[in-house]
Amino acid sequence: MDSGFLSLDRIDIKILDILQKEGRISNTKLAEEVNLSATAALARVQKLTAEGYILGYEAKLNPVLLGANFVVFVEILLDKTTPNALDAFSDAVVQYPEIMACHMISGGFDFLVKIRCANMDEFRRISGSVLWQLPGVKETRSYPVMEVIKDSAQLHLNLKPRIKK
């Protein structure tokens, strides 16, 4: 894989933008929207997938209807930040489906995690049975979300591509 985004042409970028907004679009409709034949559009999608630009497809579920409308962000400080300690934490955190996202951060804490669950009682259970069981956890700070204003996984693709050589 080459250096990435800047090697894509405008049609590739348009295909990616359409697919991230409407992953179930038919190949025929996609081809129409980018002014290509169905065969050419499919070849582009296959190439973008093979090159790793498209990682997969998933449905966006309604957390309210599924009893997961309570969001909490948690800062986690480890007792040490040696490579082994960071690796042990990272290896463990990916094993818990209750943790939706985990980011290593700089600043006063080492990691920021996002949890979705039913309510504060469930979060309290997760805090004790999941977060405090992760290796090396020294301190946590929790931030329950009062209202979700924006929650998107779509990337902003408004960059001008470099012409392929």
CATH number where 41 lies? 1.10.10.10
Considering the domain architecture, whether residues 21 and 91 belong to the same structural domain is answered as no
Q: For the chain, what is the domain count?
A: 2
Considering the domain architecture, whether residues 26 and 87 belong to the same structural domain is answered as no
50 token code pair: 């093979």
pLDDT for the residue numbered 160: 58
Cα separation of 18 and 159, whole Å?
Answer: 15
Q: Determine, yes or no, domain membership for 58.
A: no
147 CB-side CA count, 13 A: 1
Amino acid present at 16: L
What is the average pLDDT across 41-55?
A: 96
Q: Determine, yes or no, domain membership for 158.
A: no
CATH number where 84 lies? 3.30.70.920
What is the average pLDDT across 65-71?
A: 95
Q: Determine, yes or no, domain membership for 113.
A: yes
pTM > 0.75: yes
Whether the predicted pLDDT of 83 surpasses 90: yes
23 CB-side CA count, 13 A: 11
Parent domain of 103: 64-144
Considering the domain architecture, whether residues 105 and 137 belong to the same structural domain is answered as yes
User: For 9-42, how does the pLDDT look when each residue is reduced to its tens digit (9 = 90+)?
Assistant: 999 999 999 999 999 999 999 999 999 999 999 9
Considering the domain architecture, whether residues 86 and 18 belong to the same structural domain is answered as no
